[in-house]
Every structure is written in C-alpha cells, then in structure tokens.
Amino acid sequence: MTLNLGNIKHAASMKGTALLVRKPAIIVLRSLVAALVLSLLGALALDAVSTPAQSQPRMRYHDAIRAQRLVLAPVNSPPPAPSRARWSQGGTRFVLKANGLPSHAIGAFPNRGNPNAVRAQDLQLQIPARPRMTGSATPLRLGFRFGVSLEGVVFDPMAAEFWHGNPRSGWQYNALGGAIRLGLDANYAHVQPNGAYHYHGLPSGLLQGLSWSPQAHSPLVGYAADGFPIYALTGVQEGQVVRMTSSYRLKVGQRPGGSQPSGAYDGAFLQDYQYQAGLGTLDACNGAFTVSKEFPQGSYAYFLTEAFPVIPLCFAGTPDNSFALPRPGRGLGGPNRGGPNLGGPSGRSGLGRPPLPPPGLGG
C-alpha cells in the first residue's frame, strides 16, 4: 500500500501529539517539567549566536506572528544526478559516503521562496554502530543535522529564521509553521545555499519508495546522528502495530508581546509548543521502544510524526560531530548539553545492533 499524501498532516495543521516509552528493557521517559523543554528550545536559538557577529551571515528580518497554511511546490522534477550512497563499517562506526540526492522526484529549485539550485554534495558521515542512551536529552541546535536517510539525504529540521532577525530574541520560526515562506516542496524539503537538498518534515516521496503502510511497522528510514534508527509514523508495541504520536501541544493563551512576538500561540514559532509527558506515545525526543524487522528483540528508535516536531529536536544518545555543519570562523562543534532528564542511569543501549542498510542501497 502506498502512502496517501492526503492523510499526511504536518505541524502546519497546528495539532500537537507524540510518544512515551514503556519498556523495562530500555530507559523510559519520566515526567518532564514544561519549563525544561521550553529552556531546551530557547537554547536552540541562543546557540546560533555563539559565533562572533562579524563572522555570521546576516539574518533576514521578520515580524510575522501568524502561522499560515503551507504552500508546497509540486514534486515533478528529477534530481540533477542519480542518488548515490555507499555504506560501510569501520570499527565502532558506520560510514556513509553519499552525494546527498534522493531517488524520488523533487520540486523545482530555485523557486519563489528558495533561491538555491540543488547540487550533488560530498557527504561523509559517521554513525555510532552501538548507540547508548545518556539518560538526558541533548538538544539539537541550529547548524547540526539530526540524521540522514538510507539514501543519504539529511534531516535538518531547524530554520535559520528568527523574530526580527535576532537569534537572541529567543523566538525561532517553525519551518513547518508557514509564517515564513521557505519554498518547501511536497517532500517538505528545500535547498541550502550550498545546494544541499534536505528534509524539514515527512519525506513523502521517500516513504512511498519504501512502501510505507499504515498496517505495518514502518520500514527503516535512516539513522540519527547518535546511531539510533529512524522510522516513520508506525511502530510495534506489545505485539500490535500502533500509530506513533507526538507528546507536544500548543501552549494556551497569548505570546508576551512588547519586545517579543504577540498573538496567540499558533505554531508560527518553535517556542509556541510545550511537551506534555504521556500525551502521545513518544518521549520528548520523539523516541520510543519498538520491535521491528531490523530489531526483533526491540530497540529504542526515533519516529517521524504527523504533528510537531515531526523530526525530533533532541537526542537520547551522543550524536557524532560529523553531523555538524562547518560554521564561519570555527571548526565543527557538537550540540549543546543540558536538556531534560530522560530518566534512568546513563550508558544503557538500545537492544540489538543497528544493521547496515539492505544490499542494493550502497552506491
């Protein structure tokens, strides 16, 4: 059964849902205080200004405060070259060398919201082969990619767009909120200035190619930077196929106003959302224990969801620094520490060992 794009709803629908792990074989999420998660999202914005101002690209000025329906470019263009991805294993790491191009159709780039043309990349990533949970969340920051698909296209959910163009404002625009036109195509993807095509939401074309079905556990979609697998929408818990749902929801009431954005919390900004433990089936990092073909004994895994955050905004394990983008005037750097406590002792690993991609996916 192919994926019905009409049934895929992203954060632009302004619905908040998510997931919670309930398995003794793995560290489970305990109740999190909403303030901790809010501070996590605030840290995402503030970290973007840790580079001296003179070496930073100029931020675009925005004063939009309302979420809007996303207008997506149709995916009717082939990538500029065939997709190539070669996976290998070296010691304690998987090594991916890829050109960053998908096998599915993409939107037309440049377009009105995105002035960049898609170009093949020289992507080289290292992924921990035996991931371990640290016991607390590591926030994803701007300039650090969350993960990568089996085809070698990265998941990079954060947008470098801030209230009044000021990362210190503490208000970062939600790439799927529609307040800022980003030129996304129907794969919820667009293009970096260096030509890198990357996903901000559910990669519809990729899921279709993997024959995703609502009646079965999701096929393996890719790996996160910390080595845990990435699936989409459906998992297996207690022997049953279940919809994996987010535990985030919109805050109630109005934004502060004054020197900060006004208006209702409607999803225009990342900071419009708060985590509510147990609201959905996933934890604060959109992760849960699941049993899959790749992990018949079960493992912790991340899930792409229909609602915010869609792509996770934190790590349960330790991400590899190869997922960091070079920053002007600086070398590679890892994400911030100090996210919410995920509960339990550190050093535990997901059950099973992440497998190499199936034969035929190597380039």
pLDDT tens digits, one per residue of 97-141 = 999 999 999 999 999 999 999 999 999 999 999 999 999 999 999
% of residues, the chain, pLDDT over 90: 71
Q: Is the peptide bond before 309 cis (omega within 30 degrees of 0)?
A: yes
Contact 284, 37 (CB under 8 A): yes
Mean pLDDT confidence for 253-263? 97
Mean pLDDT confidence for 12-35? 37
Q: Residue length, the chain?
A: 363
Predicted confidence (pLDDT) at residue 299 exceeds the cutoff of 60: yes
Instruction: Write down the pLDDT at residue 346.
Output: 41
Lowest mean pLDDT across 34-48, 221-235, 289-303: 34-48
Q: How confident is the model at residue 357 (pLDDT cuts 50, 70, 90)?
A: low
Predicted confidence (pLDDT) at residue 235 exceeds the cutoff of 60: yes
145 compared with 40, residue with greater pLDDT: 145
Mean pLDDT confidence for 79-93? 93
| Of 139, 135, 178, the residue nearest 48 (C-alpha) | 139
The token pair at 83 is: 């997709």
Predicted confidence (pLDDT) at residue 361 exceeds the cutoff of 50: no
358 compared with 235, residue with greater pLDDT: 235
Predicted confidence (pLDDT) at residue 34 exceeds the cutoff of 90: no
Q: How many CB atoms lie within 10 A of CB 159?
A: 18
The token pair at 266 is: 């409607």
| Of 148, 262, 133, the residue nearest 196 (C-alpha) | 148
First CA to last CA distance, the chain: 27
Q: How confident is the model at residue 91 (pLDDT cuts 50, 70, 90)?
A: confident
Residue with tokens 């404002």: 169
**What is the chain's mean pLDDT, rounded?**
82
Half-sphere exposure of 174 (CA within 13 A, CB side): 34
339 compared with 237, residue with greater pLDDT: 237
Instruction: Write down the pLDDT at residue 54.
Output: 34
Lowest mean pLDDT across 7-11, 119-123, 128-132, 246-250: 7-11
| Of 326, 319, 274, the residue nearest 122 (C-alpha) | 326
Q: How confident is the model at residue 248 (pLDDT cuts 50, 70, 90)?
A: very high
115 compared with 361, residue with greater pLDDT: 115
Close Cβ partners of 50 (under 8 Å, ≥ 6 residues apart):
none
Predicted confidence (pLDDT) at residue 282 exceeds the cutoff of 60: yes
Instruction: Write down the pLDDT at residue 22.
Output: 39
The CA distance from 210 to 113, in Å, is 29
Predicted confidence (pLDDT) at residue 164 exceeds the cutoff of 90: yes
Instruction: Write down the pLDDT at residue 57.
Output: 55
Q: What is the pTM of this model?
A: 0.82
Mean pLDDT confidence for 224-235? 97
The token pair at 216 is: 């079965």
19 compared with 288, residue with greater pLDDT: 288
